[in-house]
Amino acid sequence: MITPISDIGSIGGVSASMLAQIAAAQMPAPMAPLQAPSLDGNASTTPATGGFGTLLARAVNGLSDQVNSADRMQQLAATGQLSDPQMAIVETTKAELSLSTAIQVRNKLVEGWQELSRMSV
């Protein structure tokens, strides 16, 4: 016998209240958009963004914040202070994916640097 679905929001184990909690969770601020340098060579018309080093530092700080948030959620879930332990799993998975992406980017940067160093001048 087929039973009717009582709450369409709970399909896959995700309730509407859990979706609201996930949406209300503090997300890291997005990075500021990069602006292309001007073609006329006038450096005063381009904004002072700090360059690649600043961009890299912001990305690393964002990754660190995400990992710290996942750790905090895991501690709350382990001590029973978190109303929905699945939120800790979601945060941990997001941190895992971010760390994996950062490792892949690092590997590509190292590979590019090695290729540049092998080129003859």
In a domain, 29, yes or no: no
Instruction: Tell me the CA distances in angstroms from 107 to 51, 70, 101, 103, 111, one per residue in order.
Output: 21, 24, 10, 6, 6
In a domain, 27, yes or no: no
Give the best-scoring range by mean pLDDT among 18-22, 73-77, 117-121.
73-77
Structural contact between residues 92 and 74, judged by C-beta atoms closer than 8 angstroms:
yes
Give me the half-sphere count of Cα atoms (radius 13 Å) on the Cβ side of residue 61: 10
In a domain, 76, yes or no: yes
Domain extent for 93:
49-121
Rg of the chain (C-alpha set)? 22
Q: What is the pLDDT of residues 20-61, one digit of tens each?
A: 555 555 545 555 565 555 555 555 544 556 788 898 899 999
In a domain, 23, yes or no: no
In a domain, 101, yes or no: yes
In a domain, 21, yes or no: no
Q: What is the pLDDT of residues 78-98, one digit of tens each?
A: 998 988 889 999 999 999 999
For tokens 């892949």, the residue is 104
In a domain, 64, yes or no: yes
Structural contact between residues 77 and 15, judged by C-beta atoms closer than 8 angstroms:
no
Q: How many CB atoms lie within 10 A of CB 71?
A: 14
Give residue 120's pLDDT band: very low, low, confident or very high (50, 70, 90).
confident
Kindly tell me if the per-residue pLDDT of 109 is higher than 80: yes
Mean pLDDT of 95-120: 94
User: How many domains does the structure of the chain reveal?
Assistant: 1
Kindly tell me if the per-residue pLDDT of 10 is higher than 50: no
Q: What is the pLDDT of residue 9?
A: 47
Counts of helices then strands in the chain (DSSP H, E): 3, 0
Structure tokens that stand for 82 in this block: 């978190």
d(C-alpha 63, C-alpha 67), whole Å: 6
